[in-house]
Amino acid sequence: MALAALVAGTLTLSAQGRPVAPTVSAGSGKIYIGTYTGDIRIYDEATEKLEDRILLKTGIARSLTPSQDRTRFYVLNSTYEQIEVVDIATRRTLNTWSLSSGNKRVRVSNLHADPLNRYLVLLTRTATKLIDRWDIGPATLQQFDLASGQITRQIPWPRNEERESANLRFSPDGKFLYFFGEEVIVLETEKFTEVETWPYAQPAEGGGGRINLGPVHDFYDEPGTFTGLFTMQDPIQKRRIMGIGKVDLAARRIDFRPIGPAEQVSFAQAPDRKRAYGIKSDIGRYEFWTFDLEKATVVSRQEFKGRPRIVPRVSSNGKVIYVYIAGDTIDLYDAATYRLLRTIHMGADQTTELFVVPPAPASSAR
């Protein structure tokens, strides 16, 4: 029996002759994450070892924003005043900028990259140091040209409604910019004027309440779409309902499928877009969730020993869940069983999201 299992490749024995659980590989991509040592750490998924470090010229990274073509990261540093562009292939800094000068401190609270890597749309606020005080300016949207390193335009707020934050999305061709709020306001990107309004928050079927965007991690989504956990309030019972939502920008459509009462669950989609994983965090109680995105159902839930402030990400082959944030470790869990596999000890606390860049597809033989 043991011999047959061994031949079939389903049984591994330890030196003492006891069965050992088979190793679950995370894939063959690269993990990128910023740390307090002022670098971007690169880990190889196959070996789970530190492969390289990109030392940042602007210091500690507060956020990494990947370009749509996955060729670069736009880095915002911890002062929110400096921007750095890092080339992923060469692992080198292409350029750095600071918008602050003299007695003016310009802080960037939001950064969105044009899909063609021509410019950034920045949400900024300027603090001017006067003799007796700091004068804080309004929240401003600005277009920052990457070739010249200059602000080329102040973008008017749609309908002159200033906002403290801006949930923005570009169309894949960069011709449109979408403002998500009570409705979606669509701007063309030549002069940033309004061309359309899309009342996405209202479901297509009657009788439903307003749909609100929730946790989204769209790194594995097709350009122009994003999938996440959205919520809707039942207009009759006033209950908040959670569901799988997928937004298609080109079609001006949201597909929302309820799955149950709303709960605080994070969200990370798998590369095949068929599965997603979440973590429900309560004080002293943590649960893994697995979602079937095709059927819009919760496949399973299981409590595990977690820690405060953790989120999941999915490996490049979809078999491993990375659990990280608020510390210097990345825990690897088997996506099928929720079993803790291994832990990567980084030796430095994390400051940014974790991104998994899959291996480049092999070129076809001629």
Chain mean pLDDT for the chain: 88
Q: Burial of 28 by CB count in 10 Å (0-12 exposed, 13-18 middle, 19+ buried)?
A: middle
Q: By the 8 A CB rule, do 211 and 199 touch?
A: no
Grade residue 284 by pLDDT with cuts at 50, 70 and 90. Answer: confident
Q: Is the pLDDT of residue 43 over 50?
A: yes
Per-residue model confidence as pLDDT tens digits over 16-41: 555 555 689 999 999 999 999 999 99
Grade residue 149 by pLDDT with cuts at 50, 70 and 90. Answer: very high
Grade residue 290 by pLDDT with cuts at 50, 70 and 90. Answer: very high
Nearest residue to 256 (alpha-carbon basis) of 226, 288, 235, 224: 226
| CB neighbour list of residue 352: distance below 8 Å, 6 or more residues apart | 33, 34, 40, 61, 62, 63, 64
pLDDT at 210: 61
Per-residue model confidence as pLDDT tens digits over 13-22: 444 555 555 6
Query: Which percentage of the chain shows pLDDT scores above 70?
Result: 89
Grade residue 359 by pLDDT with cuts at 50, 70 and 90. Answer: confident
Q: Is the pLDDT of residue 130 over 90?
A: yes
Grade residue 120 by pLDDT with cuts at 50, 70 and 90. Answer: very high
Rounded CA gap, 322 and 331, in Å? 6
User: Is the pTM for the entire model greater than 0.85?
Assistant: yes
